Amino acid sequence: MGAAARVAALRRELERHNHAYYVLDAPTIPDAEYDQLFRELQALETEHPQLISPDSPTQRVGGKPLPEFSPVRHAVPMLSIRTETDTEPSGARAFDARVRRELGLGDADAAVEYAAELKFDGLAINLRYEHGVLVRAATRGDGETGEDVTQNIRTVHRIPLRLHDCAPPVLEVRGEVFMSRPDFERYNEKQRALGRATLVNPRNGAAGSIRQLDPAMAAERPLSFYAYGLGEVRGWALPASHSAVLDALAECGVPVCEHRAVAQGADGLITFYARIREKRDVLPFDIDGVVYKVNSLALQQRLGFVTREPRWAVAHKYPAEEALTTVEAIELQVGRTGAITPVARLAPVFVGGVTVTNATLHNEGEARRKDVRVGDTVIVRRAGDVIPEVVSVVMERRPMKDLFMSPAAPETVSLAGGGEPLHPPFALPKTCPVCRSAVERPEDEAIARCTGGLFCPAQRKGALLHFAGRRAMDIEGLGDKLVEQLVDNAIVKTPADLYKLGLLAMANLERMAEKSASNILAAIEKSKTTTLARFIFALGIRNVGEATAKDLARHFGNLDAVMAADVDRLQQVPDVGPIVAASIARFFAEPHNVEVIEQLRAAGVNWPDGAPSAVANSPIAGKTFVLTGTLPALTRDEAKDMIEALGGKVAGSVSKKTDYVVAGAEAGSKLDKAQALGVTILDETQFRELISS
């Protein structure tokens, strides 16, 4: 196959996978395989630059930053539609009555057929395809002239660069670019973790992304698109109805929202409005209403326009999801992992269908960036299941110290005359509001945390579940529901309390039979004998995973040495850097944590201490093992622990660097590869002999 043919085949295949992944939400191949195809196409286009075309998947990102956006005059104006703010069924009836009146229909005439769809909260875009290839994308602008945002629109993977089996001379597709709620939350969470500015809301995120002069920055924003209509059309057979137009666009590979319907008369519109209102909170994107359109294109033409708005369409709004209220206090919430979140306590306000009294400020940096203070008038937003949040402060209403304030309406005081705000900026306290342990916030992180992990009541459930986990203390049967009961009934406050439990206290718990209680108590008793690495991991020290816990145990040999080590000594441990070392040192510097550890030791939790030199003298120190098949007596975890306790490493696959393969029943392909490479193969008996030596 020649280069041109291979390039064409790769483009078709990549676009097919793109459509399946981004539009149908049904991935057809693993990411690694897609990346391999993409890299092959890139290499071919680099070798044969004459084969590069605008519809290639490689051209989605890579344009140079623009000095400004060029104006684009729309061949067919992008006009707005009338908004119906009556959020009751009467809003739909009023629209139907106007349409029937304009068409001269009487009570005895048949119901008008409508296309009903969603009103997306994003940015309207016109996509111009010529002979099936996307050549230009423009914003609505003033309706007559918009801005050329083609480079940025190419970064939206849901928008096809070439239509599927559809290549008329001109086909302009109109729709909405938006950001889904999950994508918005993920993006903001990532920005907060990096200490960067967050997006205000999904709509601003979408609009701001498309109007980025640098397409590389636009590409970082996760955007989506749905089509809802047409602009200029040449050489494309128009269907008879609006709903059929959307069906035809979907066949061309253009994303069209599934939440749409053909409705008969006002009653059909009311049913659609109510159905979508019930679903609104669980939709993955924001909508601020629904849109009704006369379905017949012939009737649309007959109805025409009035003052640049079509008589045949209307947007029927839902209640607003943003509202004004005042901040009565700023309090701190401590999460299960110790994360400290400032929360604004608000004067009750009805927004998004519920009364809101609290809104998250996310973290100290976000609270200070928005400069939210007690007494401020703020815009609060609630959309779906997303936690209500403060969007911004209405600065001109901030209470001031040295300005005259009317007792009846202090919120009307203006900042225009200057002066000092009545309340200070938000500041994070140095100690946890729940347990008074020290609060830490590493320089490179946005989130502050309580250091009292084993002691802090707010973290009890999370700390206990981690402590009892299979790779930690391995207390079988101690799951979510039981931990919840033990904590909620104030039976267990720290992990040490687990070892004080009696049969009576356990059996009295709801849905807890005596036999089940006995089994759990036996599992707790069994867990008393563990390994130093497991115990360190079970403590839940921030940034300390299984591997680090094992490294600490191997390096220091006993817990007291770990607890006494300063940051410099901790950094001598392999793979322990300054951040991890600081986390460990802070954890053991907290008296509450040390107290719980001593209680655990007093309760009988123990492990054999090992001198660090024992690992160095081990015959398997530094050796790489691969475990495969089922061993007669050892579980894979037990074998792994034995290897790592003596300084060996366990890998997942066989290679030339593998020293030993421990093989049991049904060993499979790993055994075959070991034999082919000449790697030493051990059965369980030989493995035990090697370990004991």
pLDDT tens for residues 36-68? Answer: 787 788 888 888 888 888 777 777 655 555 667
Nearest CA to 155 out of 200, 112, 132, 125 is that of: 125
> Strand, helix or coil at 606?
strand
pLDDT higher than 80, residue 643: yes
Q: What integer pLDDT is reported at residue 413 of this predicted model?
A: 46
Respond yes or no: is residue 640 known to be catalytic: no
- The mean per-residue pLDDT over the stretch 409-431 comes to 70
pLDDT higher than 60, residue 417: no
d(CA 199, CA 286): 15
Instruction: Sort 690 into a burial class: Cβ within 10 Å, 0-12 / 13-18 / 19+.
Output: buried
Per-residue CA distances from 290 to 201, 259, 432 (Å): 20, 10, 46
Supply the angle between the helices 591-602 and 578-589 in degrees, to the nearest 10.
70
If one compares 94 and 610, the residue with the highest pLDDT of the two is 94
- The mean per-residue pLDDT over the stretch 594-604 comes to 93
Q: What integer pLDDT is reported at residue 613 of this predicted model?
A: 47
Q: What integer pLDDT is reported at residue 409 of this predicted model?
A: 47
**Catalytic one of 119, 293, 370, 670:** 119
pLDDT higher than 70, residue 567: yes
d(CA 484, CA 501): 15
What's this model's pTM, rounded to 2 decimal places?
0.51
> Strand, helix or coil at 140?
coil
Pairing of strands 354-360, 133-139: unpaired
Q: What integer pLDDT is reported at residue 98 of this predicted model?
A: 95
Q: What integer pLDDT is reported at residue 63 of this predicted model?
A: 54
Q: What integer pLDDT is reported at residue 65 of this predicted model?
A: 55
- The mean per-residue pLDDT over the stretch 134-162 comes to 90
Cα angle 515, 517, 519; round to 5: 70
Q: What integer pLDDT is reported at residue 528 of this predicted model?
A: 94
Largest CA distance in the chain: 99
> Strand, helix or coil at 626?
strand
Q: What integer pLDDT is reported at residue 208 of this predicted model?
A: 78
If one compares 24 and 258, the residue with the highest pLDDT of the two is 258
d(CA 583, CA 673): 42
Q: What integer pLDDT is reported at residue 344 of this predicted model?
A: 92
Q: What integer pLDDT is reported at residue 414 of this predicted model?
A: 46
pLDDT bracket for residue 7 (50, 70, 90): confident
* Cβ atoms of residues 260 and 243 within 8 Å: yes
Average per-residue pLDDT for the chain:
85
- The mean per-residue pLDDT over the stretch 163-191 comes to 90
Pairing of strands 82-84, 71-73: unpaired
Q: What integer pLDDT is reported at residue 410 of this predicted model?
A: 47
- The mean per-residue pLDDT over the stretch 383-399 comes to 79
| Phi and psi, residue 500, nearest 5° | -105, 0
Nearest CA to 118 out of 58, 178, 191 is that of: 178
**What domains lie within the chain, and their CATH numbers?**
3-59 (1.10.287.610), 82-317 (3.30.470.30), 322-412 (2.40.50.140), 434-612 (1.10.150.20), 618-692 (3.40.50.10190)
pLDDT higher than 60, residue 320: yes
Q: What is the dihedral of CA 248, 251, 256, 257, to 10 degrees?
A: 100
Alpha helices for 134-290 (secondary structure H) = 150-153, 181-193, 202-210, 215-219, 242-251, 265-279
Give the up-direction half-sphere exposure of residue 285: CA atoms within 13 A in the CB hemisphere. 23
- The mean per-residue pLDDT over the stretch 426-436 comes to 89
pLDDT higher than 90, residue 198: no
d(CA 17, CA 38): 11
Window from 55-64, 309-318, 660-669 with minimum mean pLDDT? 55-64
